[in-house]
A and B are shown apart, each in its own frame.
Chain A
Amino acid sequence: MKEPTGLETKGVDSQGRPAKAKHSRGRELYRLRRQEKLLRYAARLKLSGNLIDGERVSARTMKMRSKLQALKERIDELSELKQQQVNNSVGSIDWTGINQRATIDKISTIRYSSRQRDYKWLPTHVWHAKRAHMVKRWGFNVPYEPTMKCFRQTSRQSRIKGCVGFDTSYMNTVILKGDGVFVLIGELTNDEATGKKYHSKGRVWEGFLMLNGEHLCRSLIWWIKSGTECVLRFHPSVYDVLLDHLVNHAKNVEFEDCRYSLGSLTVTGPQSLWSLASVLHPSISSEAGSTFEKLAGLNEVSALPVGSTFSMFIDDPRLWPKPVRPTGKYADVLDLIIDVQNGKATDRSAIEALFSKEGRVASYHGQPSLKQLGQRRTPEFLGKPIPKLESDPQIPVVIVKTTQGLVLFAPWHWILPIWHQLVHVPHFSMGGTKQLNQLGFEKGELGFADCVFTRAGFLEGQLKMKELATKWSKRPKSKRFNISKLNEAGSPFGCDWRYLQLLWKYLGELPEVEDHSGTEFTELQERVVKTKRDVFEKIQDTIQKDETLAQLGKPVFAQLPIELYRGEHHRPSTEKLPLVAIQFSMLNRGHPHDNARIYKIPETEYSSWMDAANKKTIQGRTVALEKQCPGKEHLIGYVTSATFNLAQGKGTGVGFIASKAYDHLNFNKADFVLVRNVGSTACHLAQWKLVAVQ
């Protein structure tokens, strides 16, 4: 910058333009803000005469110098008290909560502590924050979707070439130990995960956790020691509910909450095994390590059975300058895959080390910083791996094949070094939670937000609905679409399950012969359903009542309006609407979107719909149907997620329909339903299939 000469006009630069107001930026600004905060603390101390921990001092009689001295001593004392012993130079520490919730101590997050007060960072946060949209959910800052457009890339890399990776460290892992674990897991999984297959043979169980008769979330259970110790991995949205249950109700169970001490990466796609193998270098020659290396060349699309597990100790991936192409011989792969199912690729000591606090702390012992590694990379090792020292740590890792892909578990502070190497593998791309959902939906599986029968999934839908409604209401009247003209079945902003529940309830009350003698009310001022019109009026009445309740601050959904249909033997509660999950694909035309409406084809129109659907023009293109959409009384469900599916070359989606409608469709052997997007008058034929929720 030019030195001022003293001849400039005040407030104007040399060009005559008004000078920009000077203010501090970046680090300087941060330092000043911290200073201001500290001064405020000091001022409060002066006024009240209390030290931060509450001890009283007569501040008035003290001199400034002695005040500072007292503060300094106090800070030293407190910092010694708080500081845990760290066995490495980079401050990696294990934050396991033993029989209590895990918390992150200030020690290594002091730099950005104020930013992580409510939403903690994943190990790869800084990497992701530059490249992805982040959302604050479930106590974490989670990557939502990459900044670059990636719909096609994600789909193709997961099926044809390359692979897609996700940092899924936000998933919670709890290690359960003790004699009561068997009973507890039995309660949580309806005795499904306590079969011999799982607890003594070590197969991985994936399915829904149940608590108090409600579905919680999809989870993973892996028995480490038969009947006495297991790993439970679940979605962070149910963390509070599950931990409360563990703390207050579980008997004879000790648990280690590894929320902030075990991280995980998910990699999926044909190249996933190859990519992992080019980053993970087994540190000791063991059968497990060599099996993993031999399988590295395998094209991993449905070749490995779900539940295959690998575990081993690996070297610090940063010793290698870049990922190394796996060189293992590719032969007798089928025998190897079968051996993996029998536990040939698992190293017991690695499993025990990874799922114990001592093991993870040991893996941080002597963890070198990047600077130290840089000093060891002398010119003769340029482009080659740095020779390993005896002090270099061995890292326990576990890889499990799940329905989502290969999940790599590693100690929290080793996730970042592994991730940094992994992203340099050719044809690797990253994804966020949105991409995970996309991949699930392309396979016709239910993602997290699709599971509307779980409380977390239901609330997620409600939240999205609210957000869109507020966005809509904030637009000027001339710029927003007119909701009242749409005459939509339920809220146009999402899947209105409450509407569907009421519709099916009141349609059930409708007499076979409609009575047009006029509106009637019961003593409780409830409308009597006599005609179809009454049904819709009564729905409006109830929804208005709900809104008044909500305004009074009373919970409307203490009970969810819907539940998952669990077969005839399970008697559903009378209030809740039982739902069945379906997947559908458009028969010829139509591009379904999220929140589309599903109708059954009215019996009188069935044949005409079928005829019209099969008509073709000369070019072989199907004719756009100009058929009217069925009335609201034919509504059977909503689509939770749908869009054009690149794997199938047409629009597909997943959704839920009322179980009675499902019975009706099954009885009539009707393979088709109608799907209509929100705000559209065009209805399209779709072929549906049941989705087994397990």
Chain B
Amino acid sequence: MEDYKLVKHAAPRKYSYNDSKTVIHVKSSTPFMSAVKRIDKTFGYYDSKYTKKGKPIPNENKNVGYITVRGMGKTILKVMNLALYFEHEQNRKVEVFTKTLTVLDELKSTNKDKDDVFQKRQVSCVELRIHFTKS
């Protein structure tokens, strides 16, 4: 396979604007603490808020009950650590799901006469659901 250069592509996922507020993707270069802070901030966004006089501001996001955290491949370890952190440090209810994702590998041929090869590869993935409610 010397004639090919591997280009990895992101796991295909559906675009949804609202997902950007409830789904957090952890990658291998994400530091553990920045993932923790990002999740914490998202909780803050969905917390019930009050006016200066102490009246509650109606929450428009009542349907959202948890935040999803996903990581695949070598990030699984980091995601599991996140699960432990939120379960024990913050006493939140955490659900763990395992998944298998199919991703696309592009083998770019360095030889201009040979065609590129596209392959599918399966990667394991972990999904956490960290609930707002504390146990």
By a beta-carbon cutoff of 8 Å, the part of chain A in contact with chain B is: 160-162, 191-192, 194-198, 201, 203, 270-271, 273-274, 297-305, 330, 333-334, 337-338, 341, 426-427
- Given A303-B9, A334-B102, A338-B118, A198–B14 Cβ distance below 8 Å? no
How many residue pairs, one in A and one in B, have C-beta atoms under 8 Å apart? 74
**Roughly how many angstroms separate A303 CA and B106 CA in the complex, as a whole number?**
11
Main secondary structure of the interface of B (DSSP, over half): loop
Cβ A305 vs Cβ B104 within 8 A = yes
CB distance from B33 to the nearest CB of A (A): 11
- Residue ID in chain A nearest B109 by CB atoms: A197
**Roughly how many angstroms separate A304 CA and B7 CA in the complex, as a whole number?**
11
In residues 74-109 of chain B, which contact A (Cβ within 8 Å)?
102-104, 106, 109
Q: Which residues of B contact A270 (CB under 8 A)?
A: 15
Cβ B112 vs Cβ A297 within 8 A = no
Cβ A298 vs Cβ B17 within 8 A = no
Residue in A160, A196, A271, A333 whose CB lies within 8 Å of B112: A196
Cβ B15 vs Cβ A341 within 8 A = no
By a beta-carbon cutoff of 8 Å, the part of chain B in contact with chain A is: 7, 9-15, 17, 20, 102-104, 106, 109, 111-116, 118, 120
Cβ A299 vs Cβ B13 within 8 A = yes
CB distance from A427 to the nearest CB of B (A): 6
Main secondary structure of the interface of A (DSSP, over half): loop
Q: Which residues of B contact A274 (CB under 8 A)?
A: 15
- Given A161-B17, A337-B104, A338-B104, A301–B10 Cβ distance below 8 Å? yes
Cβ B104 vs Cβ A299 within 8 A = no
Cβ A305 vs Cβ B9 within 8 A = yes
Cβ A197 vs Cβ B115 within 8 A = yes
**Roughly how many angstroms separate A192 CA and B109 CA in the complex, as a whole number?**
12
Q: Which residues of B contact A337 (CB under 8 A)?
A: 12, 104, 118
Cβ A197 vs Cβ B112 within 8 A = yes
CB distance from B102 to the nearest CB of A (A): 6
Cβ A195 vs Cβ B17 within 8 A = no
**Roughly how many angstroms separate A427 CA and B20 CA in the complex, as a whole number?**
12
Q: Which residues of A contact B114 (CB under 8 A)?
A: 196-197
Known: A300-B15, A305-B7. 9 other contacts (CB 8 A): A162-B17, A195-B112, A197-B116, A303-B9, A303-B104, A305-B116, A337-B12, A337-B118, A426-B17
Cβ B120 vs Cβ A334 within 8 A = yes
CB distance from B26 to the nearest CB of A (A): 14
Cβ B10 vs Cβ A303 within 8 A = yes
- Given A160-B20, A195-B112, A198-B112, A305–B14 Cβ distance below 8 Å? no
Cβ A299 vs Cβ B17 within 8 A = no
Residue in B11, B20, B102 whose CB lies within 8 Å of A161: B20
Cβ B116 vs Cβ A203 within 8 A = yes
Cβ A299 vs Cβ B15 within 8 A = yes
**Roughly how many angstroms separate A514 CA and B68 CA in the complex, as a whole number?**
67
**Roughly how many angstroms separate A575 CA and B12 CA in the complex, as a whole number?**
50
**Roughly how many angstroms separate A192 CA and B111 CA in the complex, as a whole number?**
9
Q: Which 9 A-B pairs have the closest CB atoms?
A: A195-B112, A299-B15, A196-B113, A161-B20, A333-B12, A302-B10, A338-B118, A303-B12, A297-B14
Cβ A330 vs Cβ B14 within 8 A = yes
- Residue ID in chain B nearest A300 by CB atoms: B15
CB distance from A189 to the nearest CB of B (A): 10
CB distance from A341 to the nearest CB of B (A): 6
